[in-house]
Amino acid sequence: MTYQSINFNNKFGLFTEHWAPKVIAEMNDYQFKLAKVEGEFVFHSHANTDETFIVLDGCLRIDFEDGSVDLNAGEMFVVPKGVPHKPFAKSETQLLLIEPRGVVNTGEAEGGALTAKTDVWI
């Protein structure tokens, strides 16, 4: 039987779009997604779930209504469910996101062009 690891850098080589998470693995009903982000996202929240951000390369700032957190490579943060947040990256940043299957990237917000399709695997 052949088992294959999932290599983050190899997967990042397969796409270039920003703010369009790609699923690379599932654990029970949770998904692991890679995303490249740059610039400003929209304020949004997820009513039913926490959301995990792990920075693999670059720097991410997550703004809240009453503050912010800076994440460098090798750092993580869990945004609690229902908490409005807005990710921002000054230059291209590579993220690993973990959240339940089916979560929409713009949450409860009218994301418009920023709303990505869910369940896109690479």
Residues in contact with a copy of itself by the rule CB under 8 A: 1-9, 24-28, 30, 32, 49-52, 56, 62, 64, 66-72, 74-78, 81, 98-100
CA 70 to chain centre: 15
* Of residues 66 and 110, the one with the C-beta less far from a copy of itself: 66
| Tokens, residue 66 | 């009453």
Q: Shortest distance, CB of residue 97 to a copy of itself, whole angstroms? A: 11
Is residue 11 within a helix (H) or strand (E), and if so which, with residue range? helix 8-12
* Of residues 99 and 116, the one with the C-beta less far from a copy of itself: 99
Q: Shortest distance, CB of residue 13 to a copy of itself, whole angstroms? A: 12
Residue with tokens 């190899």: 10
Residue 113 gets the label, from left (phi > 0), alpha (psi -120 to 50) or beta, of alpha
